[in-house]
Amino acid sequence: MKVLLTGANGQLGRCFQDIVPNEWQLIAADHDVLDITNTEHVESFVKQYQPDVIVNAAAYTAVDKAESEAVIARKINAQGPYNLAVAANKNNARFYHISTDYVFDGEKTKPYLTTDQTNPLGVYGKTKLQGEQLCLKVNPNVTIIRTAWVFSQYGNNFVKTMLRLAKERSELKIVNDQIGCPTYAGDLAYCIIQLIKQNNIPGIYHYCGDEVMSWFDFAKLIISKAYELNMIPKLPKLSALSSYEYPALVKRPAYSVLDKKISVTIIIYQVNWIIR
Ligand SMILES: NC(=O)C1=CN([C@@H]2O[C@H](COP(=O)(O)OP(=O)(O)OC[C@H]3O[C@@H](n4cnc5c(N)ncnc54)[C@H](OP(=O)(O)O)[C@@H]3O)[C@@H](O)[C@H]2O)C=CC1
Ligand SMILES: Cc1cn([C@H]2C[C@H](O)[C@@H](COP(=O)(O)OP(=O)(O)O[C@H]3O[C@@H](C)C(=O)[C@@H](O)[C@H]3O)O2)c(=O)[nH]c1=O
């Protein structure tokens, strides 16, 4: 099986490379090798390598910054996946694209189903939704996996921010009224690999970690674990805030738990990486 991985240097991209089956031939293309917004290059690249499967791990993920960079966010999160979906279609490759819980407005109080109404609150969520819609429009064989609150040992994420702030500050102030499910990027990579192996039915899937919590709960967990492992010298004070009290540029969903229908046996525990 020949697999083209785009956005190979991101959190998901790197975790995917770590566990890709040995017998698969992987073409790991980071931003420098393949810019997914370059329509002609995407077309020629896919034609040249003829992958059986394309996994798109490339995205614009800076949620607040997207508000002032809507054009570039749209190019990467909507035009890019569209280019890949078209190229996959032309070359008979199965296409796996990743989307987000931020396509929802968070007004629900029960886990979001794949069939629930979307209503993104900010530019990032809107561009990710456009990406989903464009892919589904041009390619009947696309699999879209919505996930949430991704963290890993790679790149930037909430866990790393908390560890950094815990070393710099004596008090951390964290929102306690946004509820979701932290997802280890390695588990997500594993899930995608299982779907590919199972030759799944195309369509929209939800996948996230099992634990439901607020960002405040997540911060508490990270800080206590890090302290236990001597990764931070002292325990900072943790104070719970409401979203109104936190100076964010864009509103996040209050509740974005995804109803996880994909069942895979997870072999990597979600906090394992912190021990490395
Ligand atoms: N992070 C999260 O909390 C969540 C992420 N998701 C989704 O999961 C997927 C993976 O996210 P994650 O691994 O965290 O993302 P990262 O931000 O860690 O990685 C994204 C990668 O995409 C690359 N990239 C950006 N623009 C382009 C481009 N034009 N062409 C090719 N590559 C590009 C970046 O490279 P460079 O830095 O060099 O530009 C980076 O390596 C994304 O679709 C994201 O929307 C969903 C829910 C939560
Ligand atoms: C750093 C920090 C953040 N926060 C809040 C802001 C925000 O509401 C929440 C999470 O902050 P972040 O900016 O790290 O997370 P954010 O960028 O909103 O994370 C999102 O990223 C995109 C890519 C997704 O797809 C989503 O699933 C989700 O993971 O915590 C605090 O309350 N205190 C703090 O010190």
Q: Which domains does the chain have, with CATH numbers?
A: 2-157+183-208+258-266 (3.40.50.720)
Residue type for 98, please? I
pLDDT at 230: 87
Q: How far apart are the first and last CA of the chain?
A: 31
Has 124 been annotated as catalytic? yes
Give me the residues paired with residue 172 across strands. Answer: 238
* pTM: predicted TM-score of the whole model, two decimal places: 0.96
pLDDT at 258: 96
Given the residues 60, 124, 190, 205, the one annotated as active site? 124
pLDDT at 154: 93
> Which of 37, 61, 184 best tests ligand 1's pocket when mutated (most atoms within 8 Å of CB)?
61
pLDDT at 46: 98
Q: Say how many Å lie between the CA of residue 158 and the centre of ligand 2.
A: 6
For the chain (length 276 residues), average pLDDT per consecutive 10?
98 97 98 98 98 98 98 98 98 98 98 97 98 96 96 93 95 98 93 94 94 95 90 94 94 95 53 43
Question: Contact, 186 vs 216, CB < 8 A?
Answer: no
What residues are in contact with ligand 1 under a 6 Å CB criterion? 6-7, 9-13, 30-31, 35-37, 57-61, 76, 80, 98, 100, 128, 147-150, 155, 185
pLDDT at 77: 98
Measure the CA–CA gap between 227 and 233, rounded to whole angstroms.
7
Q: Say how many Å lie between the CA of residue 90 and the centre of ligand 1.
A: 24
pLDDT at 264: 57
Give me the residues paired with residue 26 across strands. Answer: 3
Angle at 2 between CA 41 and CA 138, to 5 degrees: 50
Separation in Å, CA 148 to CA 47, 123, 200: 32, 16, 21
pLDDT at 173: 97
pLDDT at 267: 42
pLDDT at 75: 98
pLDDT at 130: 98
